[in-house]
Amino acid sequence: MPAKSLEPFLERDFKVYARHRQDDPEYNALRLGVRRKLKAIADAVKARAKEAGYTLDSMAGLHHPYSFNSFRVREQRAYLCRGSRERKKLAAYFGEALGKDAETHYIQTVLEVSMDHQVVEAALRIHPQAWWDGQNLKKRTATEAGMAEWCQLLRSLPGGFGLRMHDWRNIWWASEAHRQNQREYFDAYTPGDHWLHLVRELPQEDALAMGAEGPEWVATSLLSLLPTWAWILWTP
């Protein structure tokens, strides 16, 4: 999908996520517009990823206040995850007790575009309950060869990506990844308890100034994460 087919970010897209509007259903229509805009980016990434040999499904989050988001839309998101066939394989392997989580599209390692009232993010995230991927990543980085490969994957990403954990403030910059600081990260990271975030941010003022190039910046950022995403995934 060419860049011109992706709609640029507008000032109103950010304003609907201001705190005093997050629980107001009057803004549902505007948030729906943002939802469609982000889903179009995810769909574009899905199509380009398929050409490169990656199979993903694309989804979009809720745009209206609902019990699932505590009746407050703090941000809008669209994301890509394992294809349904691979999720079904996980579910079959884990059986009835755990299989439901393994097949759920958001309890995965995802590539995500999200925006709130201040920033657009392109990110790779490991859901805390996707412990199979988190454990796989910890196991792979526990070896010297695996850690070296992981650090190289991070350093090869475009500038501005930072590794974060759960709701901690610390940022481990991908461009500065080396054995010592990544060992520090994985010594603290506990799959099942913590989110893992690998994030690149586009502030509102930059997103607006970039026009049609803003969504393309997001798409390119997400595509750059594909090798890292594939390296993390665990398969039975």
Question: What pLDDT, in 10s, does the model give residues 157-177?
Answer: 999 999 999 999 999 999 999
Residue 203's DSSP bridge partners are 119
Residues 90, 132 contacting (CB under 8 angstroms): yes
CATH homologous superfamily for the domain 3-232: Protein of unknown function DUF1054 (3.30.930.20)
Query: pTM for the full model?
Result: 0.94
Going from N- to C-terminal start, the domains of the chain cover 3-232
pLDDT of 1 > 50? The answer is: no
Residues 111, 225 contacting (CB under 8 angstroms): yes
Question: What pLDDT, in 10s, does the model give residues 43-93?
Answer: 999 999 999 999 999 999 888 777 667 778 789 999 999 999 999 999 999
Q: Count CA within 13 A, CB hemisphere, residue 46.
A: 19
